[in-house]
A = this chain, B = another copy of it.
Amino acid sequence: MTKPLKLLSGLIAVFATVIATVISASLGNAERAATGPRGTGDLGIIIERATGSVLVFDSSERRMLYRVEGLGDLSHASAVFSRDERFAYVFGRDGGLTKVDLLAGSIARRVMQAGNSIGGAISDDGTLIAASNYEPGGVRVFDAATLDLVADIPAIWSGGSSKTIGLVDAPGRRFVFSLWDAGETWIADFAGGSKPVVTKLAGIGRNPYDALITGNGRHYIAGLYGEDGLTVIDLWQSPLAPRRILSEYGRGEAKLPVYKMPHLEGWALAGDRFALPAVGRHEVLWVDARTFDEVGRTKVHGQPVFAVARPDGRHVWVNFAHPDNDTIQVIDTHSRAIVAEWKPGPAVLHIEFTPRGHEAWVSVRDGNAVEIYDARTFEKKGRIEAQSPSGIFLAARAHRTGL
């Protein structure tokens, strides 16, 4: 070839490479994003507990978008969401805290924040992530953007360092949690910045094992493993005065191991009543939401695990402990009668309603699927295959307190 021709061919090769790169980059992104630009309000994740992975799904189209792997031990995992609903923060059992990018289907950041952890929360302004730890105990708080450590709150009491449980986010950049060993509840208030003011309430009761905060952020309720009853703290009161309620609660026919105790997050506020899984009994209790007095019971199929209210509060869906864990029952909160019952499959672990309650998503661990039901007709609307699915978390949780 002549020199100009060589130059020409060389330049063409360079330009072709540049163009191919530009085009393939855009195609790659387009393919990766599955659908191009999209809203994130209808996204969600499914925890695959056995494989340390999560599925990102589109709840409108009822289909899986991505599998994201490498999240460690997810055997008792939970998740919260950024206020733009782009990121999920997944709290693993092994102390891993993973920030998952729902749009990219990838891990944005990940830190091993402790040796053994259970549950987490996000502040009402979306800037702080808190994780509750068994080992070394205490609570650690991270910057939601970077996952850099903001504050370390060791749970030191007269007996040493305590495991912490029942961590929730209260309005006003506050986190509330309880000390299993100490029987205390602490409130860490970050209103002033990154150094919390910590209020400590003693005498909560022996071995608080789980807790919840009501949807309005007013009442913190801790379940006790070491004695009967629960403790409620009205966060609107001043001074704070923990109060024992439901003194009968906890007296089952036989003492349950702690891992069989019902989840308190499963407390359903249905109208002006809570529906509450009984401990060691095949019953759902009804509790007046103003007085916290028991006002009735409904006999159910087995030991209830979750009692979840449809967002309008008219129905409560209940799942059960082994060996009755293939069944769902639906209770009408108006009549307190069971209005539907069916068997989605082996090991029904979790129930998540769409935010306005038109569908319920049910994880069937040993069926390796999430089944999707019309929340009014109970007709099956869809199905997503998943490996040993446990928790289902919709990004719409970003906008709620107490989830």
Binding site for B on A (CB under 8 A): 2, 4-5, 7-8, 11-12, 15, 18-19, 22-23, 26, 33, 37-43, 59-60, 81-87, 102-104, 124-126, 171-173, 191, 216-218, 236, 271-272, 290, 311-314, 334, 354-359, 376, 395-396, 398-401
Contact = CB atoms under 8 A, between A and B. Distances in A.
Contacts of A103: 37-39
B312 A171 contact: yes
B124 A357 contact: yes
B217 A312 contact: yes
A205 B354 CA distance: 36
A86 B171 contact: no
Contacts of A395: 41
Q: Which of A22, A83, A87 has the most CB of B within 10 A?
A: A83
Contact of A40 (B41, B59, B217, B400): B41
Contacts of A271: 216, 218
A382 to B, nearest CB: 13
A18 B314 CA distance: 59
Nearest to A399: B355
Nearest to A126: B60
Given A7-B8, A356-B124, A312 B218 contact: yes
A356 B22 CA distance: 42
A249 to B, nearest CB: 23
6 contacts: A8-B8, A22-B22, A40-B41, A42-B85, A172-B376, A216-B311
Contact of A41 (B18, B86, B359): B86
Given A40-B40, A41-B86, A355-B398, 19 more contacts: A4-B4, A11-B11, A18-B19, A37-B104, A38-B84, A38-B86, A39-B40, A39-B82, A39-B103, A40-B85, A41-B41, A41-B395, A60-B84, A171-B357, A173-B358, A217-B312, A218-B271, A312-B401, A355-B400
A382 B15 CA distance: 47
Q: Is the interface of A mostly helix, strand, loop or mixed?
A: loop
A340 to B, nearest CB: 15
Query: Top 7 A-B pairs ranked by shortest CB distance?
Result: A39-B86, A41-B85, A39-B84, A355-B399, A124-B356, A42-B84, A39-B40
Contact of A83 (B19, B42, B312): B42
A10 to B, nearest CB: 10
Contacts of A314: 171, 216, 218, 236
A359 B395 CA distance: 20
A126 B60 CA distance: 9
A41 B401 CA distance: 15
Nearest to A83: B42
A39 B399 contact: no
Contact of A22 (B19, B400, B401): B19
Contact of A60 (B2, B83, B102, B171): B83
Given A22-B19, A103-B39, A399-B399, A358 B125 contact: yes
Nearest to A332: B236
Contacts of A311: 171, 216, 401
A8 B1 CA distance: 14
Contacts of A5: 4
A312 B174 CA distance: 14
Contacts of A334: 236
A8 B191 CA distance: 66
B23 A85 contact: no
A126 B396 CA distance: 14
A172 B7 CA distance: 69
Nearest to A355: B399
